[in-house]
């Protein structure tokens, strides 16, 4: 019996030693897994920070693009206003020149009649000067109308581009905010 007790005691010690070793291995493995889990938490937090930063940058870019579009439109409108003002100034100057030339015309006519010119010459001079000014004024009006049309088309194009960009940004925002469950 003593041998049996000794054998049992020896088997119990080996079994106990085996289980102690298994418990020790499991504790070490558990510590390794907790370290890995901690590393994952850090990388997940970092990922969320990066994602948030990217979202903020995209919003800033969209806002800056919108402001740039607004500035372009304002610039074109300012150019259009300046062009209109220049045309108005040119038109006033032409009217002033026409007015001053018609005031001088009787003096020129009188001078030519004294020199011995005929009445036909007087009539031609009177008729030709206003006609050339009218033709010049008409060509300037046509040029002004063409420029106005070009500016209006450019402004309309920029407004449409801005509207499309805003719609695209709205769709991207909705897609990011409410992702579809099919993806």
Quick check: 181 pLDDT over 60? no
Query: What is each CA distance from 81 to 74, 84, 109, 154, in whole angstroms?
Result: 10, 5, 41, 14
Burial degree of 83 (CB within 10 A; 0-12, 13-18, 19+): middle
Quick check: 183 pLDDT over 50? no
What is the mean pLDDT of the segment spanning 86-111? 73
What is the mean pLDDT of the segment spanning 134-146? 81
Nearby residues of 166 by Cβ (< 8 Å), 6 or more positions away: 66
What confidence tens digit (pLDDT) does each residue in 52-81 have? 999 999 999 989 988 988 888 888 888 888
pLDDT of residue 143: 82
Quick check: 92 pLDDT over 60? yes
Quick check: 134 pLDDT over 70? yes
Q: Is residue 158 a contact partner of residue 69, using CB atoms and an 8 Å limit?
A: yes
pLDDT of residue 107: 59
What confidence tens digit (pLDDT) does each residue in 6-49 have? 667 777 888 889 999 999 999 999 999 999 888 877 777 888 88
């Amino acid at each position: 019996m003593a041998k049996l007790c000794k054998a049992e005691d020896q088997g119990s010690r080996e079994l106990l030693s085996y289980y102690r070793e298994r418990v020790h291995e499991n504790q070490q493995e558990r510590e390794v897994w907790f370290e890995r889990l901690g590393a994952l938490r850090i990388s997940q937090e970092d990922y969320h920070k990066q994602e948030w930063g990217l979202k903020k940058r995209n919003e800033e870019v969209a806002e800056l693009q919108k402001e740039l579009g607004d500035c372009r439109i304002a610039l074109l409108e300012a150019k259009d206003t300046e062009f209109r003002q220049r045309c108005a100034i040119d038109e006033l100057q032409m009217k002033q020149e026409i007015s001053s030339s018609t005031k001088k015309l009787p003096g020129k006519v009188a001078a030519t009649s004294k020199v011995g010119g005929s009445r036909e010459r007087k009539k031609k001079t009177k008729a030709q000067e206003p006609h050339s000014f009218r033709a010049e004024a008409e060509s300037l009006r046509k040029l002004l109308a063409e420029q106005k049309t070009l500016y209006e088309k450019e402004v309309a194009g920029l407004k449409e581009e801005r509207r499309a960009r805003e719609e695209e940004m709205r769709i991207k925002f909705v897609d990011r905010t409410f992702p579809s469950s099919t993806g």
